[in-house]
Structure 1
Amino acid sequence: MKPETQQVNTTQAAELLIRAKEASIADLSGNVDFLEKKNADLQARYTALFKLNQLSQECNDLESFYPQVHSTIASLMTAKNFFIVLYDQTFETLEFVYYLDEKDEKPSGIIDYQDYDGSFTNLVIESKQPLLLTPELEKQLFDNYKIKQFGVRGTDWLGVPLLQNGLVIGTITIQSYDEKIRYNENDLNLLTFAAQHIVGAMVRLQDQQRLKNAVNARTKELMAQIREREKSELLQESLYRISELTTDIELDIDTFYSKVHNIIGQLINAKNFFIAKYEKESDTLSFSYYVDEKTSNLAKDFKPRKLSNRYSELVLRRRETVLLTYQDMMSLHLEGETKKPQDDIHSWLGVPLIYSGQLLGVMVLQSYYYKTTYNQQDAELLNFVSNHVSAAIKRRELADFERRSHELLEQQVKLRTLALEDEITHRKQAEKLLKHTAAHDSLTGLPNRTVFLDLLNHAIACAKRKDDFSFAVLFLDLDRFKVVNDSLGHHAGDVLLKIIARELLAIVRKVDTVARLGGDEFVILIEDLKSNNEAFEVAQRITAFLQQPFTIDNQLVYTGTSIGISFSNKRYSDADTMLRDADTAMYHAKDNGRGRYEVFDDSMHQKVQNALSLEADIREAIGWQEFIPYFQPIIKLDNQKLKGFEALARWQSTKRGFVYPNDFIPLAEETDLIKEIDIQIIEKSCQQLKHWHDELGCDDLYVSCNLFSKQFFSTSLPQDIEKVLKRTGLAPHHLRVELTERALLENAEIVLTNMQALKNMGVKILLDDFGTGYSSLGYLHRFPIDVLKIDRSFISNVDEHNNNRAIIRTIVDLANNLQMSTVGEGIESLADAELLQQMDCVYGQGYYFAKPMSSQDTKDYIIQKLYYSKNV
């Protein structure tokens, strides 16, 4: 490069650098100007808001206050068109107290609020929210009939509510008619903030104005009445002084009352004076301030008291001024309205303290000297003063409450700030507790079903990945747990469950999981088995442990357990299936004698499938009306006459052929299908018996039908029976219903109600299998039972067993004493029948007389019996 060229390039670079610096300096200067302008705007806003706070001190009346508010707002934003509206919620009126507008005239006087329905002001008052109304929003609201047109249409309209204690007392509005003058959200926020400062000052000035107006008006009236006493100036000054006391929030309450007393004392002789506050909740008087020249023990005489028949209470009851001489007080006493007055009382004057209709208390003057006698003028004066004292007391209380609230708030803020870390810690602890609660049983603290299924699913997944990993599930159900609950109560049952849960944890290894599924069901996951014998050993230890008695509430409690075991297998893909198989094995253990364990195999699964298939067929059979009654005769033992039949359910299945009750009734009871079968058998039995009555003329025969115990827990049972009788036409006294003792042990009130309803209908009630229950004797006197059926287990070979004879004799004697009949079941020989007859058992049934028969065979049996009785 040539030297000349190099010099030229250097010169150009220098010039470029100088220009860049100049531009940078210009930008910096612009930013400084912008920041200075921003600072000036903020300073102007701060000055304006400070000015708003000073208005209540600088302004003596509202007339000068409103223009200064406008002036201050105008210093913050363009506000050529500005107005303030006051809203009276009680009278539902509006008043435009300040109004400047380029195009519209000020609405005059007090305006009905309804007249402005649909106005922008109405929107702000109803919503209690600030509103920035642009032409676009105005058109949208107008088109949707949300607003109406009031006055000249403008560009932007800005309005905010004046809120006092959450209530709207008015609005402030700024309006623009010029497209160049527009408002934004910042203006809306600023006006809203300013309104908060305006409300307090405005309310104070309004209160002061109202007070002055009231004082001036009332003072003028009093001056005419008490001109002769030349106290008008003193009265006005005193009232102003009382009013000023309300604004001095630094003044403590005792000093406040003392100053009130001093002011009143300048108007009326008040050597003996007190103010008592009325506590409505406790119905008591509490003496806030008292001075008395005669009382030696002020604290005792002016302690809080329940309302009684004294003179202060008379003022409270009447809610009016009471002026009394000693003679007046004695007259009231003799009439029984008040207590006897003190001998040294000469004159007494009391006025109620009432604020906004609320009774605050009473203010009292009393005189002990004849030279000081209160008159009607004193009463009127004190009554007038009481209005201001009431307002002053209420405002002092409110101010004191507000001060304490502020102090409490500040303290709470400090405490809250200091407690944030503790709160976070507690929240974490609570979350941890919630997680634990969601995953564990609330009674025993063991993991719940959800957690157990998650762990079991994880074990199944591990077994699929590892060929040498094996595990087992033990499903436990307590034996006779329901007996514990029924006999000792649920508290004892809960204690037993807690003990068993604790012991199960001690029996298994720490790596194993014990969970409670609910009720008396527990499950155990035994992982990483070396052999199946480990699971068998755990089951044996648990079985042996639960065979031992427990002591609960000083009572020995016996239980036991049946355990089902399912071992890990490749065919298991989910926890529910494996748990179901363990459950199935547990039921096999129960069926095989309880107090044992069984391992699940495919044959059990097949049994479950068979039960499901049988259940489905039972449901179909109910719909197809396949269940039919077989009839077994009931004989009067002394003359062998036929009295009636017991109807027994049989199933003539289109799929399975003839099915005996032992093959379907247990499953029907387990699935609650037995209820529908019972009703079907009752209806067919009643229909058949009615047919025999009409055809054979044997209208003295009855039919007795069995009802599953849960039938008596249904409130609709009497109605169901009544419908059957109406459909079949059978008279109620020809029907008997049989229930077992189990029904009497649960839901006793519902069972009793149903039995009484059936008795009232005319249906008789038999107690079946008597003598095999737990608490039968305790229930017999309570339930309306007509017949006891002696269980066949006592009658079988009764002539060979002396113990059975004693039991039967006891049952028969018990029935006779309770005016019940007896039926002996299972009579299989002449000897059985004769022995029962000798024991005064009235009726009998069994194979000795006849087996249960079909309808046709029963008809033949009836005809044979009828023929026999005619020829005997």
Structure 2
Amino acid sequence: MQARYTALFRLNQLSQECDQLANFYPQVHRTIASLMTAKNFYIALYEQTFNTLEFVYYIDEKDERPEGVFEITEFEGSFTYLVVESKQALLVTPSLRKQLIENKKIVEFGSQGTDWLGVPLMHGDEVIGVIVVQSYSESIRYTEPDLNMLTFAAQHVVSAMLRLQDQQRLKNAVDARTKELMAQIREREKSELLQESLYRISELSNDAELEINEFYAKVHNIVGQLINATNFYIAKYDADNQLLNFYYYVDEKRDARNGEFKSRKLSNHFSELVLKRKETILLSQQEMQELYRQGQTIEPDKETHSWLGVPLIYGGQILGVMVIQSYTQSTTYSKQDGELLNFVSHHVSAAIKRRELADFERRSHELLEQQVKLRTLALEEEISQRKQAEKLLKHTAAHDSLTGLPNRTVFIDLLNHAIACKKRKDEFSFAILFLDLDRFKMVNDSLGHHAGDKLLKIIAAELQALVRDKDTVARLGGDEFVILIEDLESNQEAFEISDRITEFLQQPFTIDNQLVYTGTSIGILFSDERYENANIMLRDADTAMYHAKDSGKGRYEVFDASMHKKVQNALSLESDIREAIDWNEFEPYFQPILQLADNKLKGFEALARWQSRKRGFVYPNDFIPLAEETDLILEIDLQIIEASCKKIKHWQNMFDDDSLYVSCNLFCKHFFSSSLPRDIEKILHSTGLAPQNLRIELTERALLENADVVLANMQALKRMGVKILLDDFGTGYSSLSYLHRFPIDVLKIDRSFISNVHEHENHRAIIKTIIDLATNLQMATVGEGIENLADAQLLQQMDCLYGQGYYFAKPMSALDCTSYIGSMLTN
């Protein structure tokens, strides 16, 4: 313990004893080595602004020090990268290394060691570097105490290192001030320096080999020899698009990542003030604040002490602005500085214009030379290009442009060839795997199609690695892939490949630094003598895939004949439903809703029934699920509402009772469309039914998706006067949060609680809770599925207001309902 305190004390002394950082790092190594085995040791500094990594100290038995400053992305997948990204210490043992490699979380960098221990160097919440020890021997292993010790020591390393850096910055500042004083002494030489600078700027504009960014940098350097231009930028004015483009900038406080130097539309910044006035503008912080108070500019950065901008003008045309600014009291620009910068700006403008013209002439000349060369080699090039084009066309015609896999055309040819082989050789066996990615649409919707394309490329490459060399992976389009597994010795081979693919696609993928989870549903079809062509086989494999998806996703299913029959039946039923909508075959049946206290008729629930001219009477359970799946239920619902409103209005007039209402069910997707209020209003207007005589029923599912759109639609219906009923309450999510949020008038207690409620004490408790909850929220309650007197009496005793069910009446046609209303009103 004493050695540990001595070492930590030693770390704190280093910043006073070391005169520079180069001497500091070896001392840190020696100190750490006194606490633990640190034969292999390095310190890497991370610069967050430029996202770079530099190995400032590196001692290793096997590997050389990486020289220079690197983009940190060059070390993506390394342990050092993991520590920087996570801001957490990391102890990597052989077992953890193996696990990380298998999960593709890391890649190997340098020689493989035994243990690797690294901790971040933290300054506040920011990582400024990493300190690492590692071993290549089984005899040297690191433990959690080593990790804790190194983490603790890293805090003292940071403190000492920051003090040294501050000392270095102070020394630099002193040196800079010294140079500034020397510059003042040489004031009499400024005229000569100015002439030399202008001459150098002129030379730069004539150097055609100089890159444009280097040109601006050299202009900055020349200006900086005349005036303190530590913070400097040149922005060019795009008159056609009214844009200000920052072509060159160097700044102590700001960078492009904060949006400071992004191209922008002309606004009320200080640079635009220079463009507008076309004159030199010199401002102090106070003057900048005054312009802001007058509404002429944006609010200035409080760190800016002095600001000087000049227009870049050539031949009366404004090209842009050149700006210098100071963040310290030590540098305050004067009118003389403004005159000097303005004088220089004329030469800079001319140089920029000459440079643009030179670049244009150079590009024109290069283009002309290229055209001459192309013209000279035209015949030879045409032949070569024709061959390349033919080769490319053949490849493009046969392969998917995104993944490079064979496309549908090639796969069909290969599959037809396999079918032909099967007919020639009975013992030849093959299989098709038809894959569809699960949750792929969610990836596109949340991360964009670019991320979806990346995921497809990764999966395509991995699928090729998971199958045998003689098998073929193809992409049909979208997120659908097919695999031809030829020359099977047994069906088990196809199952094993399917298992490998399913297991692989259950793992998360990293796309644009985001974990993405997908999966696959696979349809398997084995070769059979009855198949004559590839399209039929693909169809059946596709059918098997959809059965796998319907059975829960992330699995595979083998095709059998019953699947095809089921698909054919569904297609036939869907076609008949579409015709039934066109022929208005759907009609409402009405089930009475009574007031439990006195059995008085209050209204009806309208239920969709289908009397088909082809199929006869079709039960709701046989057509509603498919209608919902195909969204045909949306048209059916609106037809039922319109027919029900007409009937209720007719009965109101017939029996002189304006209180009768009808309650209609709406599929949840109605509430996801902003047109719902207009649709309901149109029906009420055409039928003449008052809004208060229409009630709309929806299930909890509608409240759990697109909540903002659903709420807006419910509020619009409420403003109209239509009441909202929540159907089947108690069987789903049943959250109190949406009862408070959404404007619900009535809770309908599900029939599963009410059936023989007098025999189930726990059901009575649930029903009582629902009724009390509704009462507190000023909502009414309707009990569904009442089938005997005992249930009706018990619900009435628990203060349930309304009820419906076979005990009162079954759903009935409009004709039977007319008689029923008459009998109820005369009793």
858-867 vs 564-573, which moves further? 564-573
The residue that corresponds to 1:577 in the other structure is: 536
Corresponding residue number in structure 1 for 2:176: none
**Deviations, residues 716-756 of structure 1 (Å, cap 9, x unaligned):** 22222222212211111111122223333333333333222
Residue aligning to 1:619:
578
Report how far residue 643 of structure 1 moved: 1.8
Q: Is the counterpart of residue 254 in structure 1 residue 198 in structure 2?
A: yes
C-alpha distance in 1 between matches for 2:609 and 2:367: 78
User: Larger Rg: 1 or 2?
Assistant: 1
Please give the alpha-carbon distance, in whole angstroms, between the structure 2 residues aligned to 1:304 and 1:558. 47
The answer to whether the 8 Å contact 1:631/1:645 transfers is yes
> Which residue pairs with 2:699 in the alignment?
740
Q: How does 1:338-487 map to 2 (within 5 A)?
A: 356-358=315-317, 398-399=353-354, 439=399, 453=412, 455-464=414-423, 466-475=425-434
The residue aligned with 1:731 is: 690
1:853 and 1:515 mapped to 2: Cα distance?
A: 55
2:714 is equivalent to residue 755 of structure 1? yes
Residue 602 of structure 2 is aligned to residue 658 of structure 1: no
Distance 1:495 1:843 in 2: 57
| 8 A contact 1:562–1:586 mirrored in 2 | yes
Q: CA deviation at 1:649?
A: 0.8
Aligned counterparts of 1:515 and 1:563: Cα–Cα separation in 2: 14
- C-alpha distance 461-847 of structure 1, shift in aligned 2 (>3 A): same
CA gap 1:352/1:702 in 2 versus in 1, 3 angstroms: closer
C-alpha separation between the residues in 1 aligned to 2:814 and 2:692? 21
Aligned to 1:721: 680
Residue equivalent to 2:527: 568
Please state whether the residue corresponding to 1:529 is helix, strand or coil.
coil
Structure 2 residue aligned with 1:859, among 808, 818, 821? 818
2 CA distance for matches of 1:625 and 1:853? 18
Please state how far the C-alpha of 1:629 moved relative to its aligned partner: 0.7
- Counterpart in 2 of 1:648? 607
1:708 to 663, 667, 673: 667
Read off the aligned partner of 1:750 and give its amino acid letter.
V
Indicate the residue corresponding to 2:636 in structure 1: 677
Q: 1:838 to 1:586 in 2, by over 3 A?
A: farther
Q: In structure 1, what is the Cα distance between the partners aligned to 2:470 and 2:497? A: 14
Amino acid of the structure 2 residue aligned with 1:856: L
Aligned to 1:783: 742
Distance in 2 between residues matched to 1:407 and 1:686, nearest whole Å:
78
**C-alpha separation in 1, matches of 2:230 and 2:445:** 62
| Paired residue type of 1:844 | G
CA distance in 2, matches of 1:516, 1:498: 11
Report SS of the residue matched to 1:827: coil
- Three-state SS of the structure 2 residue aligned to 1:851 is coil
Name the CA shift for 1:640/1:438 in 2 (closer, same or farther; >3 Å). Answer: farther
Give, in whole Å, the separation in 2 of the partners of 1:830 and 1:493: 59
Distance 2:401 2:199 in 1: 63
Deviation of the 1:647 alpha carbon: 0.7
Q: For residues 789 and 744 of structure 2, what CA distance do their matches in structure 1 show?
A: 29
* Structure 2 partner of 1:667: 626
Amino acid at match of 1:699: D
Structure 1 residue 687, shift from structure 2 partner = 0.9
Task: Name the SS for the 1:633 alignment partner.
Answer: strand
Unaligned runs of 5+ in 1: 1-250, 259-281, 291-296, 307-312, 321-350, 363-387, 418-423
Aligned to 1:764: 723
For 1:763 and 1:445, the matched residues in 2 are separated by: 56
* 1:856 positional shift: 2.0
Residue 392 of structure 1: how far off its partner (Å): 9.1
State the shift of 1:528 in Å. Answer: 1.8
- Secondary structure of the residue aligned to 1:781 is helix
Kindly provide the CA deviation profile for residues 412-455 of structure 1, in whole angstroms up to 9, marking residues without a partner as x. 999999xxxxxx9xxx9xx999979995696x998776765565
Equivalent residue for 1:529? 488
Q: Which amino acid aligns with 2:638?
A: I
Confirm or deny: 8 A CA contact 1:287 1:303 kept in the other structure: no
- CA–CA separation in structure 1 for the residues paired with 2:440 and 2:344: 73
Question: What is the one-letter code of the residue matched to 2:657?
Answer: C
Q: Deviations over 1:806-830 (max 9, x none)?
A: 5444443443343332323222333
- Aligned pairs, number: 517
TM-score (norm 1): 0.48
What pairs up with 1:312-323 in 2 under 5 angstroms? none
The alpha carbon displacement at 1:543 in A equals: 10
The whole-number CA distance in structure 2 between the counterparts of 1:821 and 1:704 is: 14
> If the length of structure 2 is used for normalisation, what is the TM-score?
0.50
Describe how 1:474-553 pairs up with structure 2 within 5 A: 474-475=433-434, 509-513=468-472, 523-536=482-495, 541=499
Amino acid at match of 2:624: I
Q: For the residues of structure 1 that align with 2:455 and 2:788, how far apart are their CA atoms?
A: 48
**1:191-235 alpha-carbon deviations (Å, 9 max, x no partner):** xxxxxxxxxxxxxxxxxxxxxxxxxxxxxxxxxxxxxxxxxxxxx
CA distance in 2, matches of 1:811, 1:552: 45
Distance 1:353 1:867, change over 3 A: closer
Letter of the structure 2 residue corresponding to residue 254 of structure 1? L
CA distance in 2, matches of 1:257, 1:549: 62
Check whether the contact 2:201–2:347 (CA below 8 A) recurs between aligned residues: no
Instruction: Please say if residues 254 and 289 of structure 1, whose CA atoms lie closer than 8 Å, have aligned partners that are also in contact.
Output: no
Unmatched 5+ stretches in structure 2: 1-194, 203-215, 235-272, 281-309, 322-342, 373-383
Cα pair 1:471 1:527 within 8 Å, conserved: yes
Correspondence for 1:610: 569
Q: Is the 8 A contact 1:471 1:529 kept in 2?
A: yes
For each residue in 1:14-39, what CA deviation from the matched residue of structure 2 results, as whole angstroms up to 9, or x when unmatched?
A: xxxxxxxxxxxxxxxxxxxxxxxxxx
CA distance in 2, matches of 1:361, 1:535: 68
SS in 1 for 2:741: coil
> Offset at 1:689?
0.9
- 1:639 Cα deviation after fit: 3.0
Match status 1:827 vs 2:786:
yes
| 1:774-830 Cα distance to aligned partner (Å, 9 max, x none) | 575444433322222233333334444455445444443443343332323222333
Establish whether residue 629 from structure 1 lines up as the match of residue 588 from structure 2. yes
1:468 aligned counterpart, secondary structure: coil
C-alpha distance 828-821 of structure 1, shift in aligned 2 (>3 A): same
Contact 1:474 1:523 in 2 (8 A): yes
Equivalent residue runs for 1:28-427 within 5 Å: 254=198, 299=227, 356-358=315-317, 398-399=353-354
Call closer, same or farther: CA 1:640–1:400 in 2, change over 3 Å.
closer
Q: Which residue identity does 2:618 align to in structure 1?
A: V
8 Å contact from structure 1 (residues 692, 859) kept in 2: yes
Question: SS at 2:657's partner residue?
Answer: coil
Q: Deviations over 1:162-184 (max 9, x none)?
A: xxxxxxxxxxxxxxxxxxxxxxx
Matched position secondary structure for 1:662 = helix
Q: Tell me, in whole angstroms, the C-alpha distance in 1 between the residues paired with 2:221 and 2:730.
A: 76
Q: 1:726 to 1:399 in 2, by over 3 A?
A: closer
State the distance in 2 between where 1:790 and 1:591 align.
30
- Which residue identity is paired with 1:863? G
Q: What letter matches 1:833 in structure 2?
A: A
Cα shift at 1:569: 3.4
Match of 1:333 in 2: none
Secondary structure at the counterpart of residue 663 of structure 1: helix
Report the secondary structure of 2:432's partner residue. Answer: strand
Distance 2:807 2:441 in 1: 37
